[in-house]
Structure 1
Amino acid sequence: MSVQTAVPDEAFAAAAAAAQVDRATATLRANGYLVHVVDTVAEARALVADLLPRDESVFTTSSETLRLSGIAADIDDSGKFASVRAQAGDLGDDVQARIRLGAAAEVVIGSVHAVTEDGHLVVASASGSQLAPYASGARKVIWVVGAQKVVPDLETALRRIRSYSLPREHLRLQALGQSSFIGKILIMEREALPERGTVVLVREPIGF
């Protein structure tokens, strides 16, 4: 697929049916994740503020879900949290420093590109910077996920990434004179550590 000319498949932009969200919720819980289901983005934003600790380092991954919801600004700009990004300041052109930024954070918050009805979380990345803390590096992880990301199975999740999430990200970066690609994909099937991973499922679309 040529990312430069790809048109996002807007079928993946619509919120999943309530029954699909309910099935994903049940299987995520069976797979070891804590799950909160809220109706609106505003409710998700308020919930995250309650879930996050005030005395531990918190890293916000690069996420349109966090940016558009206002959650990233709540964490990085309010002064209420020990934001890794706020404490790091301007890293300039040091790409490796930016990639390593969240490696040692106690708490990481971000999103994923797909949640399957059988309880798998799937996320793609160019650099892979958020994948290590997502998988095992961070002591706690919170993912905020819009209902449009709930899909039937892993095959559909991977198709969603390539035909919708990647083209949308490329278009976003194209406006900044940049481009995007898939460097790494992480599939999380089960969480071994109790209460480590929390999924906040929002019944309305947010992010891509």
Structure 2
Amino acid sequence: MSSDTPYAPPSAESISRAIEALAARNVDAVLVGSREAALTKLRELVPEGCEVFVNTSETLDAIGYTEYMHGNDRYINLHDQMMSQPDPASQREFRRKTTTADYFVGSVQAIAETGEIVIASSSGSQIGAYSYGARRVILVAGTQKICPTLSDAEARTRGFTLERHDRWLEGRGVAPTPIGKYLVMEHEPVVGRISMVLIPESIGW
């Protein structure tokens, strides 16, 4: 599907099926009513005083969480610490440490109604945290990312999402990058480790 052809919003039944399927795979998903409610929910899920890394995300930017966390000294803010490193090599080395953060907040590329979650990344910097390293993972996504099947979710990621990402890079004068790392989360063995906040609108890619 071309990035000029957006995915249709899922039905209420589709969202309900996805939430139930995610729960069966030990992902605690909740549907909030708005961007503002998503921001409030994140503030509830990530307690003040904790160590937290906020991954780069259009979704987190859109709901105001990136701005809320920037310079916020009520948390041990690993992203701010990373950006304060003196050079790119030091930032990359610090980035490795963030994969074991107490709380790691980010987004995903697609969610199947059957409960699988698809994540694609150029560098793979968030993959280790999502799959194992972080003590708690909080994922935020618009419900337009819900797809009927895993095959549909993978097609969305490799088509629509990748095209949108490449256009975003080009708009900033950066050459498009291929998918470097690809993760399908099928089951989380640690109950309560992963939470997902769903927003009922088209937000992010």
For residues 159-181 of structure 1, the C-alpha deviation after alignment (integer angstroms, 9 at most, x for no partner) is: 10121111111111112221222
1:193 aligns with 2:202: no
Aligned length: 202
Shift of 1:7: 4.5
**In the alignment, what sits opposite 1:3?**
none
1:155 maps to which of 151, 156, 161: 151
TM-score normalised over the length of structure 2: 0.92
Q: Identify which range, 46-55 or 84-93, moves more after superposition.
A: 84-93
Would the aligned equivalents of 2:100 and 2:135 in 1 still touch at CA under 8 Å? no
**In the alignment, what sits opposite 1:124?**
120
Q: Identify which range, 103-112 or 136-145, moves more after superposition.
A: 103-112
Distance in 1 between residues matched to 2:19 and 2:88, nearest whole Å? 40
Identity %: 33
**In the alignment, what sits opposite 2:37?**
43
Matching of residues 91-170 of structure 1 within 5 Å:
91=85, 92-94=87-89, 96-97=92-93, 99-170=95-166
Shift of 1:90: 3.1
Matching of residues 20-99 of structure 1 within 5 Å:
20-91=14-85, 92-94=87-89, 96-97=92-93, 99=95
Would the aligned equivalents of 1:38 and 1:200 in 2 still touch at CA under 8 Å? yes
Shift of 1:96: 2.8
Shift of 1:9: 4.8
For residues 108-146 of structure 1, the C-alpha deviation after alignment (integer angstroms, 9 at most, x for no partner) is: 000100110011111100000000000010000000010
Distance in 1 between residues matched to 2:180 and 2:81, nearest whole Å? 28
1:204 aligns with 2:201: yes
Distance in 2 between residues matched to 1:201 and 1:7, nearest whole Å? 24
Shift of 1:77: 2.9
Report the secondary structure of 1:10's partner residue: coil
Distance in 2 between residues matched to 1:38 and 1:82, nearest whole Å? 26
**In the alignment, what sits opposite 1:11?**
6
1:54–1:189 distance in 2 versus 1, CA, 3 Å? same
For residues 26-78 of structure 1, the C-alpha deviation after alignment (integer angstroms, 9 at most, x for no partner) is: 11111111111112111111110111021221011111111111111212333
Distance in 1 between residues matched to 2:93 and 2:56, nearest whole Å? 14
Distance in 2 between residues matched to 1:39 and 1:161, nearest whole Å? 25
TM-score normalised over the length of structure 1: 0.91
Report the AA paired with residue 177 of structure 2. Answer: S
Distance in 2 between residues matched to 1:176 and 1:99, nearest whole Å? 22
1:176 aligns with 2:176: no
